[in-house]
Amino acid sequence: MKNFFKIVLILMSFALHAEAEVSLTKSLEDDAAKIAQYQAKCEANETLVVDKAYGVGCFTNYNHYLPTKNIIKNSQSIRIANYNLLHPGTSKALFKDYGMVAKIINQYDIVSALELLAVVGRDEQNNRAVLEFIIDAPNVQAKLKAERLKLKDASKIQEIEFKIAKHYNDTRAAYDLYRAPGYLKILKELKKLDPSWALLLSPRGDSALVGSVEELTGYFYRGSTATPTLNPHCKEYAEEGAGTPYACFINLTQSFMGRDLVQHFARRPFMASFKVNSTKITLVTSHVVFTYSGDEDATKDLLKKTFSVESLDELGPGINLSNFARFAEVKNTLEFMERYKRKYKDPKIMFLSDMNLVSKNVFWPEVLKAFSGSELLITEASTLSPTRYLSTGKETGGIVNDYDHFVLDKKTFPGCDNGEVYNYFQKGIIKEIEQKYVIRQEIVGLKNKSFNFGPEAPIESEILEGDVPPVDDPATVKLEYPLTPKGQSKMDKFVMNFDKYLNSLQTIKNNQIVTDSFQITERLDGLRRRVFLRQLTNPFYHRFMQEVLSDHFPVALTCKF
């Protein structure tokens, strides 16, 4: 049996203690507590998920899931991508096709991955139960054996010996019940394609408010073509336990930026340096805020510290109440990059991000001034539209906004092209997606059997975040496309396999291993509705792509070094 009872006990108790103390997001105290929690989760992943399959480093600056095998090769060019992966491991991504996501990522060499999460909801509840069971196992065994010594009746002795043996076997089996976060599911699939794939992950989840979803940021990288290398900024501000200074959150405090900007970022940018052939490059990535949550005083402080104005009216066209905080995060990130390249004489730095800003906005030139020589790349739409038609009757093509961009100085990256969007609908992956998931056929004159989504059954038991897919609105939608017998068969096969998977899940309850029957019916209904039946409606015509992949397309540069 794996010998780590003591370390799991320490990590679990510390994580629970730290969770209770967190009060102000991104304060020094909060960072220390949160990083301790995430280090505990990293240590648990190392022991219970990875289990020596490859190296893992859990540090205060980052967590590192290393290559399984790594033979470094020189490459004439590499592809650098940004990919918002839409919360792998939660209800938003309950039906994510990790193998297909990995195939897409495997086209690139370094991928900044956004919207990653630790386990949540039922999976988190299960993991806590598993750890508590393992931690308490020696005590339970001791009590059972002590009880055995007091017995003289043969039948009772046989009964207690059965309990001892079962508990011992359950304890051994419990190690395999710990559930992996979505980002490690992606990494597992990537390693099947190339064992040199690895992941540098931010040291804690970040959010705008306490209680909000805490998003992690990471860099999936192909170790055979890109290797982490020393970053001078991470080295300068590293504290005990930071690890080799490859990656870190950028320093947004007074000490580096001349004013404190930490609380004005919903999710702080995460930076890492890599060596490609003999060239060092530095990447900065973030998921820029969408809706600003600050009050009037915070708004004034942000405007003053970022734009040196008192009100939005002073900034001119293009910037407004909806997007000013987005532009502020981008501008302050670019200012950081300008300070970085000047201080460390390290000009090969770029920003790649889901910026939630369209490229045609007239305010961009003002923002780009913060980073000398910078250009905004990617003007094609990079987000997915669920609907088939606009209100005008024109087809959406499944695309809506160009939110994902690169910002870099092309003079320092002369070998990089202008980038492209990996549009699922226009790439080779579409054939595999259609073959695997599409059930509709646009056949004139073929009618559906009578079908109605009907009112959703009420869910009686408590729903934890990340468990059951939310019901789409409206609950009842006309089916515009026929559900053919072939489509019905495809859907039924998927549902049957998912049913088998759900019924194979086990958890800990009442100090023993049991089948985890939590919300199976609701999850199966979610699969039918969100991946399959919604395809047959115009409002949700393309929505299944979001369910199995993401609501964003990857954007990428090809660079020669």
Percent of the chain with pLDDT over 70: 89
Q: Name the amino acid, one letter, at 87.
A: H
Please report whether residue 498 resides in a domain: yes
SS3 content of the chain, % helix, strand, coil (to 5): 40, 15, 40
Task: Identify whether the C-beta of residue 297 lies closer than 8 Å to the C-beta of residue 237.
Answer: no
Task: Give the pLDDT of residue 22.
Answer: 47
Task: Identify whether the C-beta of residue 78 lies closer than 8 Å to the C-beta of residue 110.
Answer: yes
Does pLDDT of 549 surpass 70? yes
pLDDT in tens, 204-245: 999 877 778 899 999 999 999 999 999 999 999 999 999 999
Q: Name the amino acid, one letter, at 67.
A: P
Task: Give the pLDDT of residue 12.
Answer: 56
Look at residue 105 and give its three-state secondary structure.
helix
Least confident of 3-17, 89-103, 268-282, 474-488: 3-17
The pTM is what?
0.92
Please report whether residue 512 resides in a domain: yes
Please report whether residue 464 resides in a domain: yes
Mean pLDDT computed over every residue of the chain: 90
Q: Name the amino acid, one letter, at 512.
A: Q
What secondary structure does DSSP assign to 464-507, as a single string? PTTSSPPPPSSSS----S-B-HHHHHHHHHHHHHHHHHHHH-EE
* Mean pLDDT across 334-343: 99
CA nearest to 292, candidates 241, 261, 329? 329
CA nearest to 351, candidates 323, 318, 373? 373
* Mean pLDDT across 397-410: 98
The reply to whether omega before 88 is within 30° of 0 (cis) is no
Which of 484-490's residues contact partners 24+ apart within 8 Å by CB, and which partners?
Answer: 484/439, 484/441, 484/443, 484/446, 486/439, 486/441, 487/438, 487/439, 487/440, 487/441, 487/532, 488/439, 490/437, 490/439, 490/532
Residue 338: which pLDDT band, with cuts at 50, 70 and 90? very high
Does pLDDT of 415 surpass 60? yes
How far apart are alpha carbons 408 and 418 in whole angstroms? 10
What secondary structure does DSSP assign to 410-456, as a single string? TTT-TTB---EE--GGGSTHHHHHHHHH--B---TT--PPS----PP
Q: What six digits make up the tokens of 242? A: 């930071």
* Mean pLDDT across 467-482: 64
CA nearest to 87, candidates 219, 205, 195? 205
Which of 26-32's residues contact partners 24+ apart within 8 Å by CB, and which partners?
Answer: 26/206, 26/262, 26/263, 26/265, 26/268, 31/204
Look at residue 257 and give its three-state secondary structure.
helix
How far apart are alpha carbons 128 and 139 in whole angstroms? 18
Q: Which residue has the higher pLDDT, 242 or 463?
A: 242
* Mean pLDDT across 508-530: 94
Please report whether residue 492 resides in a domain: yes
DSSP assignment letter at 47: I
pLDDT in tens, 11-42: 554 455 445 444 456 778 888 899 999 999 99
pLDDT in tens, 143-190: 999 999 999 999 999 999 999 999 999 999 999 999 999 999 999 999
Instruction: Report the first-to-last Cα separation within the chain, whole angstroms.
Output: 48
Task: Give the pLDDT of residue 20.
Answer: 47
Look at residue 366 and give its three-state secondary structure.
helix
Residue with tokens 């990059």, as numbered in its chain: 337
CA nearest to 249, candidates 63, 110, 117, 43? 63
Q: What six digits make up the tokens of 193? A: 């394609």
Q: Which residue has the higher pLDDT, 447 or 372?
A: 372
Residue 463: which pLDDT band, with cuts at 50, 70 and 90? very low
Number of neighbours of residue 98 by Cβ within 10 angstroms: 19
Task: Identify whether the C-beta of residue 73 lies closer than 8 Å to the C-beta of residue 276.
Answer: no
Residue with tokens 């906004």, as numbered in its chain: 401
Residue 1: which pLDDT band, with cuts at 50, 70 and 90? low
Task: Identify whether the C-beta of residue 237 lies closer than 8 Å to the C-beta of residue 31.
Answer: no
Q: Which domain holds residue 512?
A: 435-546
Within 124-269, strands assigned E span 197-201, 216-222, 227-228, 247-249
Please report whether residue 495 resides in a domain: yes
pLDDT in tens, 277-323: 999 999 999 999 999 988 999 999 999 999 999 999 999 999 999 99
How far apart are alpha carbons 243 and 50 in whole angstroms? 19
Task: Give the pLDDT of residue 461.
Answer: 34
Give phi and psi for 376, each to the nearest 5.
Answer: -95, 120
Cα-trace Rg, the chain: 25
* Total of domains in the chain: 1
Please report whether residue 139 resides in a domain: no
Please report whether residue 499 resides in a domain: yes
Task: Give the pLDDT of residue 18.
Answer: 47
CA nearest to 324, candidates 347, 339, 304, 348? 304
Please report whether residue 442 resides in a domain: yes
Q: Which neighbouring-strand residues pair with 63?
A: 58, 201
CA nearest to 423, candidates 405, 398, 440? 398
Task: Identify whether the C-beta of residue 289 lies closer than 8 Å to the C-beta of residue 267.
Answer: yes
* Planar angle of CA 541, 547, 548, nearest 5 degrees: 110
Helix intervals (H) in 237-353: 254-257, 296-307, 324-344
DSSP assignment letter at 463: P
Task: Give the pLDDT of residue 467.
Answer: 58
